[in-house]
Amino acid sequence: MSSAATDPVPPPPGGVLWTLAGDVRALLMLPAALTMQVAHPAVGAGVDEHSVFRTDPWGRGERSLRSLQLWVYGGPDAAAEGRRLRDLHRTIQGVDAHGRRYHALDPAYYAWVHATGFPVYQHAARYLVRPLTEAQERALYAEWLRVGRILGLRDRDMPQTLEEFWPYYRTVLAEEIEATAVVRELVSLDAPVRPPDRGPLALRLALRALWPLLLPRILRFRRFMTIGLMPPEAREAIGLEWSDRQERALRRFGRVVRAVVPALPERLRYLPLARRARQQARRDGTLPRKTLIRSAPPPARNELRRKPARRASSE
């Protein structure tokens, strides 16, 4: 068993990942990453056969979000959470839709689940926060590799530089990714999602009464944000349509988010674990006064499509 002295270390306070992962805007980014994960046939089969996302969607979402926050803001608890996740996945195995056997801890599948977070953060930040500079992208990727080590990924399981990552990423998109049954369910406009079963009783009762009216709107918004904040090349690989009209609507939405969220008080802007970690880091003097990322307009749409192509030329 790993000891505290040899456990992998979480990303540093004030880093790019610290700025992104605990901000409430991250909640809008996560569905795109999840959908990319389950677009891999092996991952999709594992979720389809072993996850409780249909029977306990709110509980599963809450547990997943807390786990993700621990990887980044958990300090000494981060590595323990990584070990817990690996133990949880040891018995997850089966056969995918193509008749191929899978195991959740197969390095190729486990690495893909982790890898999806980086391109989603990088792409979604352009709309909801601001475009990352090249230095910030490299810092974010280095921090994401640190999180991978917390999850038990070995250095040989993940590309170690951005120059290695983008060819790996494009290869998986071209050779593995597809519109699995779980993908179709996650972007469906008629999915049978239950009303929330947690929170104040009065709120739960109100939501239950209004759910027939609210659910269609929630599903439309979920589909819009999931597809819109997914990198275009992943969207195209899966076969998800996205129009110029939707792109304009997403950019308008992003302008509102960039104006509103930075003005929120810290207790509303940051998720609970992130907020407590920030407060502790501030007391310890390890949190920089200035954040690395500030709100700014996103680049033009053609720039969103060109950037991966420029990286490809560096191979």
Question: Per-residue pLDDT for the chain (315 aa), expressed as one digit of tens each?
Answer: 445 668 898 998 989 999 999 999 999 999 999 999 999 999 999 999 998 888 888 888 999 999 999 999 999 899 999 999 999 999 999 999 999 999 999 999 999 999 999 999 999 999 999 999 999 999 999 999 999 999 999 999 999 999 999 999 999 999 999 999 999 999 999 999 999 998 899 999 999 999 999 999 999 999 999 999 999 999 999 999 999 999 999 999 999 999 999 999 999 999 999 999 999 998 888 877 665 555 445 555 555 544 443 443 333
3-state helix, strand, coil in the chain (%, to 5): 65, 5, 35
Asked if residue 16 lies in contact with residue 138, where contact means CB atoms within 8 angstroms, the answer is no
Q: What end-to-end distance do the CA atoms of the chain give, in Å?
A: 39
- Identity of the amino acid at 305: R
138: closest CA among 311, 13, 285, 3?
311
3-class secondary-structure state, position 2? coil
Name the pTM for this structure.
0.89
**DSSP bridge pairs for 23:** 270
Q: Exposed e or buried b for every residue in 128-166, given b needs 16+ CB within 10 A?
A: bbbbbeeebbebbbbbbbbbbbbbbbeeebbbeebeebb
